[in-house]
Amino acid sequence: MPPQSASQKINLRCDGYRTWQRTWVASCIDLSLMVERPSMEESIKALQEQIILYIQSVLDTDDKESISYLLPRPAPFREKLFYQLIAIACRLKGKSASTISPTEPANRQGIRVCRGSAFNFNEEYPLPQAA
């Protein structure tokens, strides 16, 4: 992997919620990625892995002009609205708990958990320099 530049980072907004089937859905609205797992911790970890794989696959292209169309890759308006609703609920009813997630490769700005059924967080991911 090429050396990383401190100035090249992407800030991603993520959220999640518990479904009526007792599984957890985590999503990244800036890359339009979503995962579903049995626990909150597993969903966060799986989303982080999916984000890293997506960024790596986008940057590993010969068509460098296409990168600006794929990073970011915004989610539909409905998902952005849902993210905002979760963020508001978590700010009003939640508490910051950055220790609940597994070790991450990014700079987490704190996970807010809302009544044990929803969460949101922002992360910065470093982007490798273009070759």
| Burial per residue of 79-106, b for 16 or more beta-carbon CB atoms within 10 angstroms, e otherwise | beebbeebbebbeeebeeeeeebeebeb
Q: Give the domain range for residue 117.
A: 4-128
More confident residue, 116 or 126: 126
pLDDT tier, 106 (very low <50, low <70, confident <90, very high otherwise): very low
Q: Percent of the chain, pLDDT > 70?
A: 73
**The pLDDT value given to residue 114:** 67
Taking the C-alpha atoms of residue 73 and residue 29, their distance in angstroms, rounded to an integer, is 8
Residue with tokens 């992360």: 123
Q: Residue type for 10, please?
A: I
- Burial class of residue 67 in the structure, from the number of CB atoms within 10 Å of its CB (0-12 exposed, 13-18 middle, 19+ buried): middle
**The pLDDT value given to residue 5:** 43
pLDDT digits (tens, 9 = 90+) for 6-23: 457 888 888 888 888 989
Which residues are CB-contacts of 98 (< 8 A; sequence separation ≥ 6)? 108, 110, 111
pLDDT digits (tens, 9 = 90+) for 24-34: 999 999 999 99
**The pLDDT value given to residue 7:** 53
Provide the number of structural domains found in the chain: 1
**The pLDDT value given to residue 103:** 35
More confident residue, 40 or 105: 40
- Sign for the pseudo-dihedral over CA of 90, 14, 49, 1: negative
**Average pLDDT over all residues of the chain:** 76
